[in-house]
Amino acid sequence: MTYIANPSRYDKMTYRRCGKSGIRLPEISLGLWHNFGGVDTFENYRAILRTAFDAGITHFDLANNYGPPPGSAEENFGVILKKDFLPYRDELIISSKAGYHMWPGPYGEWGSRKYLISSCDQSLKRMGLEYVDIFYSHRPDPDTPMEETMGALDQIVRSGKALYAGLSNYNPEQTKEALTILKDLGTPCLIHQPKYSMLVRDPEEGLLDVLGDEGVGCIPFSPLAQGLLTGKYLNGIPEGSRADLEHGFLQKDEINDQLVDKLKSLNNLAEKRGQSLAQMAIAWLLKDERITTVLIGASRVSQLENSLGALDNKDFSNGELEEIEKILK
């Protein structure tokens, strides 16, 4: 059946300006880190992408290594783009990244010009695109001069393979250095993607100030702390959850009694606000005007819809914010 996008898709979503740029992004963006790989079910992730766009989510975030296996999320997205979204290409912001291990040998990861440009070419091929809207350096490379990595991003933009450059996982000092180089090259950085949630507060230690001062957007990933800030772990570790899987990013020993108590207290507050814990965690990030959009994942349509519900109540009283800080301390 031919996909026809919801005609009222732009009515409810709010779009925030990305730093000082001309780009506005939806308050929630969809990341394809998990659940869109070769091991996943096509009709399920196709339904998630359609539901997202129908709700006004215009930004889909990928990387070369998303899967598993690496590369398969981009391939699958390319198939759905061709089947469903080609008529809407100019309404979409599609991003990809390079930085983590992708192929054997010395040029298959990190931040060399060789790797970044080759990787961008591969990503475009997998997705069947002429360009991506944003191309990121996925992580800083301790062994490559910053000038080389930023020079590669500049070249990728100048060659028309990407419209904007982005950074991910750079600390405040590295970010400052990278932003200066990009500005000097004439390709200012559009956006930064750090790990940030109620439970992971590192960006508050300087990074958000740098981005605010420099007029760069911010798109936090893992806003639900790998699922901890959902109702899933209120009674310990459920079977089949990320913490239960041997290869997961979330380790069993991270989930102790102290953390479960915090999650229960946060959940009680969310219930008082008429929200799920996940909805409150997303809304809490959006309270800061330096945050452009929150990058969520979804394994099924109902999960995506639950996250979108965060936008129905984004306001916090001072009392609520104080209570959250007290719980988290």
Mean pLDDT in the chain? 95
> Are 47 and 80 contacting, i.e. CB atoms less than 8 angstroms apart?
no
Q: Is residue 251 part of a domain?
A: no
Tens digit of pLDDT for each residue in 11-29? 999 999 999 999 999 999 9
For residue 237, what pLDDT band results from cuts at 50, 70 and 90? Answer: confident
Q: Is residue 1 part of a domain?
A: no
Output the six-digit token pair for 18. 């990305």
Q: What pLDDT does residue 256 have?
A: 86
Q: Is residue 217 part of a domain?
A: yes
Nearest partner of 189 among 175, 199, 202, judged by Cα: 175
Q: Is residue 216 part of a domain?
A: yes
Q: Which CATH number goes with the domain that contains 30?
A: 3.20.20.100
Range of the domain at 225: 15-234+277-315
DSSP 202-220: GGGTTHHHHHHHHT-EE--
For residue 248, what pLDDT band results from cuts at 50, 70 and 90? Answer: low
**Cis ω before 106 (30° cut-off from 0):** no
Q: Is residue 103 part of a domain?
A: yes
> Are 286 and 294 contacting, i.e. CB atoms less than 8 angstroms apart?
yes
How many domains in the chain? 1
Find the mean pLDDT for residues 134-150. 98
Q: Is residue 241 part of a domain?
A: no
Query: For residue 247, is pLDDT > 90?
Result: no
Q: Is residue 192 part of a domain?
A: yes
Q: Is residue 269 part of a domain?
A: no
Tens digit of pLDDT for each residue in 167-197? 999 999 999 999 999 999 999 999 999 999 9
Query: What is the rounded distance in angstroms from the CA atom of residue 243 to the CA atom of residue 223?
Result: 16
pTM beyond cutoff 0.85:
yes
Q: What pLDDT does residue 253 have?
A: 66
Non-local (6+) Cβ contacts of 280 within 8 A are 266, 269, 270, 273, 310
Non-local (6+) Cβ contacts of 182 within 8 A are 150, 153, 154, 165, 188, 189
